[in-house]
Amino acid sequence: MSWLWKRFLDLAKSRMTERLALTSYPIPAGFEQKRAMTGPRSRRSEVTTTSWAVKAPAIRQARAACVEAEGPPHVLNFVINPDHHYDLPFFGADLVSLPGGHLIALDLQPVLKRDASHTAPVWKRLQPVFERWRSRLPDGGPIPQEAEPYFSKGFLWTRLPLDDETSLETTVFPAFVDYLEIYLDLVCEARPVQGDRSDALLAGQRRYTDYRAEKDPARGMLTRFYGSDWTEAYIHGFLFDLESAQTSSQSGLP
């Protein structure tokens, strides 16, 4: 079985290891890997969801959720959650292969979209990269109005035919590398903030993670594979775990 997005995650792990002081991030029991059988009785196949997570100075949690099957779906949901004591955006990559085609989304997602001191330094670096790759990919279509506060002007969103391996190789992969390198530059240059600023960043992060947990597009797929109880626990206890992580920190739990 060959997982379509392995090269992307391997690159991210390699570059983060080279540039950051990574340490392990705890993955709750039962979420490291989950297997199920799917499909009609005549063509049953195995699907596996695997989780990976680390942390680093200025990064509260960097994590990946990887869905692998014998055919579509192939999914990489890769998110870097900044520590709220650093004025950083989120890094978000959704790379999804379904029977109808590939769905690609890359962004450095703002924590405080209306705050120019938060967004301007990011946009200055991201704009030329976004424009370079935007011109080479079809537009993915409109996003819901309620989602707009959680995406930047550099949101790269496209849909590609399932057999378009050339665009994945020559455009999507280098775009992913460019977005990641900009983000790692920002992390390496970030300096701590305190007081009202860190409080505002934490509040913005909570709004983002609450929205993402509520609207997670993978919920239906994961529920079909693993059931509702496991899926909801996975979404809130690992994928978007800011609330539970804050609760554990305040109670002194590891």
Per-residue model confidence as pLDDT tens digits over 1-46: 467 999 999 999 999 999 999 999 999 999 999 999 987 777 888 9
User: How do residues 60-77 score in pLDDT, each as one tens digit?
Assistant: 999 999 999 988 899 999
Q: Which domain holds residue 14?
A: 5-241
User: How do residues 132-154 score in pLDDT, each as one tens digit?
Assistant: 999 999 999 999 999 999 999 99
More confident residue, 245 or 154: 154
Q: Is residue 248 part of a domain?
A: no
More confident residue, 75 or 250: 75
Domain count, the chain: 1
187 has pLDDT over 70:
yes
Q: Is 227 helix (H, G, I), strand (E, B) or coil?
A: coil
Radius of gyration of the chain (CA): 18
Q: Is residue 106 part of a domain?
A: yes
CATH number of the domain to which 47 belongs = 3.40.1500.20
Q: Is residue 249 part of a domain?
A: no
Q: Is residue 178 part of a domain?
A: yes
List, as own/partner pairs, every contact residues 124-132 make where C-beta atoms lie below 8 angstroms and the sequence separation is at least 24, other chains included: 125/182, 125/185, 125/186, 126/152, 126/153, 126/154, 126/179, 126/182, 127/153, 127/154, 129/154, 129/175, 129/178, 129/179, 129/182, 130/154, 130/156, 132/178
Q: What is the pLDDT of residue 72?
A: 87
What is the value of pTM for the model shown? 0.95
Q: Is residue 250 part of a domain?
A: no
Q: Is residue 253 part of a domain?
A: no
The count of C-alpha atoms lying within 13 angstroms of the C-alpha of 115, restricted to the half-sphere facing its C-beta, is: 14
Contacts of residue 130, defined as CB under 8 A and 6 or more positions apart, other chains included, come to 153, 154, 156
